[in-house]
Amino acid sequence: MRKSLFFTACYLLVALGVSAQIPALERVEPMFWWVGMSNPNVQLIVHGKDIASRNVQLNYPGVKLVAVHKVENPNYLFLDLRILSAASPGTFPIKFIKAGEKTLTYAYSLKKRDHSSSRAQGVTDKDLIYLIMPDRFSNGDTKNDSVAGMRETSVDRGKMFSRHGGDLQGIMNHLDYLKDMGVTTVWLTPAIENDEPNASYHGYAVTDHYKIDPRYGTNELYKQFVEKCHKMGMKVVMDLVHNHAGTEGYTISDMPMKSWVHQWPKYTKSNFKYEAVMDIHASPMDRKLMLDGWFDHRMADMNENNGYVQNFLTQNHIWWVEYSGVDGFRLDTYPYNDPEYMAKWAVDVKTEFPRLSIFGEVLTNSPVISAYFTQGNTVSRGLDTHLPGITDAVIKNGIYDALMDWNGGVEHLYELLAQDFLYKDVNQNVIFLDNHDMSRALSMVKEDVVKYKSAMAMLMTLRGIPQMYYGDEILMKNYSNPDGLVREDFPGGWAGDKSNKFTAAGRSTKENEAFNYIRTLANFRKNTPALQTGKMMQFIPGNGVYVYFRYDNLKTIMIVYNSLEKEQSITTDRYAERINGTLKARNVVTDDAVELSKLTIPAKTTLVLELLPNNTH
């Protein structure tokens, strides 16, 4: 997330500046709902000029108007509906009546739920996630590059903070490429509308929670994207932002009430310190700054203690799952949210979609801090967050420590993994090497391709759910200083690009070597349950060699990493309890046969060995 600092306009001026311009019935959200939800209650947010001066009527069998709430801003009404089990799918009018004026009518629809098994199926340790920034991957529809009426209409691929034109159609055009590589899940940074005047490409300043950004496509196209992934045997993760919203969105520019967002006498940013939430000795003001401070002047901090805000966010997220069938949520800036609300949110969402997966962005060097935010109250927090997993930055840092001999080197990675007991289910953590906010993996290892391959081998074989960042497979590089440098376009995603790295012919020899290495490991993992749901056993590193195993009742995989800058030969007696008398193995990458009694490991190299039955010839 970008954290540039500006001043914010006061609530009153913002509200008055919009209310005079909106139509009498500007919108109703959720714009439609479904019968048969586990929770029969839904709260509609109605926005229109002086809409609160009108009475509300509806008459539909099985639907009861429980309450009409008027709030500070007369441009809003909140309608509590109860959809009984007797309700049938259909459309009915909601009437807004005022004496002496024309009655306003909204045709509200109740739809039938889609219970197809391929929808909301969850992302697990059987999957490999591929993270894409839609604006930077591929431009499949040039007609939506510039959309009239939006605050940012220019497209300039020469500027890192401008829009470049990538879209949903471009991603859909290259799903075959991802599937061939072994990817099973696609995670997009937010594709929801970000109608901000600058740097709107990154997606984390939402201005319309119910609308795909038209520069990416339409709601219907997003649904088609999810359906196409499902037909190809792949899944989709949707990126959500609870903590803040773009200031140009209607609920911020014309707020229902002042308490819709966290208000300060002047612009006040978060202190970005997780410890302030955890610390039993913490200053209350430090905790308030962490949770209630703003990320950026254009990212209003949502007040999740407000019941109307809670309903607005939770219902929106449930709506997207039922509408599109997405399989999981990644929760942006998770520790900055109200803990009690987020715990309730997780329960509410999982009640509707039991298989849906959820993981939160938690970026820390400490396993204890990571575990603090996960489910099960395993570190005596006193609150069960019901958050199954987090982005496991601890293991990311541990892998780099092992590769670059930082912080104790390979022994530190071993020690970090030894603390997995802190989690209720560590296998639901998402492990990764880089993302849209971080320096790319190749640059982190100083462009040493041997170390880079070792990093990828660990990513594909350690516990948890592995996640790649677009372009990792073709050796895209750069440091996140600024972050735009790690958000470059994927070469070949635009007509006229000098090279098309979606094809082997468009890649250099070194790029094809990296691509084929990752493709081999990813597809091996995809077809090897021992690397997905199997157990893990690690051995204390010795002489710079780190060995761990992934295994189940059918197969055992041995991973051997030599952290030294010189070749080493080792005997394998030390690992007899897992080798269990096996004589030979297959090098998964090279397909060569390997004698297990003695192994030779090149400098900084990781071997991935599939143990073979002794009767194999």
Residues annotated as catalytic (active site), given as ranges: 332, 361
- Cis bond leading into 30, ω under 30°? yes
Q: Which residue has the tokens 């609308």?
A: 211
Token look-up 């509300």 returns 56
Q: Which residue in 76, 84, 142, 74 sits closest to 110, CA to CA?
A: 84
Per-residue burial over 575-605, b = 16 or more CB atoms within 10 Å of its CB, e = otherwise:
beebbeebebbbebbeeeebebeebebeebb
Tokens (6 digits) for 534: 């199997």
Residue 168, helix vs strand vs coil: helix
CA distance linking residue 136 with residue 522, whole number of Å = 23
Answer yes or no: are the C-beta atoms of 58 and 108 closer than 8 Å. Answer: yes
Collect contacts of 501-509 with beta carbons under 8 A, ≥24 apart.
501/474, 502/174, 502/177, 507/474
Residues 6+ apart with CB under 8 A from 413: 395, 398, 399, 401, 402, 546
495: left (phi over 0), alpha (psi -120 to 50) or beta: beta
Give the 3-state secondary structure of residue 473: helix
Instruction: Report CA dihedral (226, 228, 231, 236) to the nearest 10 degrees.
Output: -30
Bridge partners (DSSP) of residue 587 are 609
Answer left, alpha or beta for residue 478, where phi above 0 means left and psi between -120 and 50 means alpha: left
List the structure tokens of 19. 């209310």
CA distance 460 to 156: 36
Residue 79: beta bridge partners?
44, 68
Task: Give which of 306, 293, 390 is closest to 340, Cα–Cα.
Answer: 306
Closest CA to 561 of 514, 595, 608: 608
CB burial of residue 313 (10 Å; 0-12, 13-18, 19+): buried
Q: Where are the beta strands (DSSP E) in 421-554?
A: 430-432, 465-469, 535-538, 545-551
Query: Which residue type occupies 489?
Result: D
Q: In angstroms, rounded to a whole number, what is the distance separating the alpha carbons of residues 486 and 500? A: 19
Tally Cβ neighbours within 10 Å of residue 49.
17
How far is the C-alpha of 502 from the C-alpha of 491, rounded, in Å?
8
What is the C-alpha separation between 266 and 154, in angstroms, rounded? 32
The two counts, helices (H) then strands (E), for the chain are 18, 28
* Residues 242, 313: Cα–Cα separation, whole Å: 7
- Closest listed residue to residue 463, CA positions, set 549, 361, 575, 360: 549
- Count of other CB atoms within 10 angstroms of residue 361: 22
Q: Which helix (H) or strand (E) holds 208?
A: strand 208-212
- Closest by Cα among 6, 76, 96, 81 to 251: 76
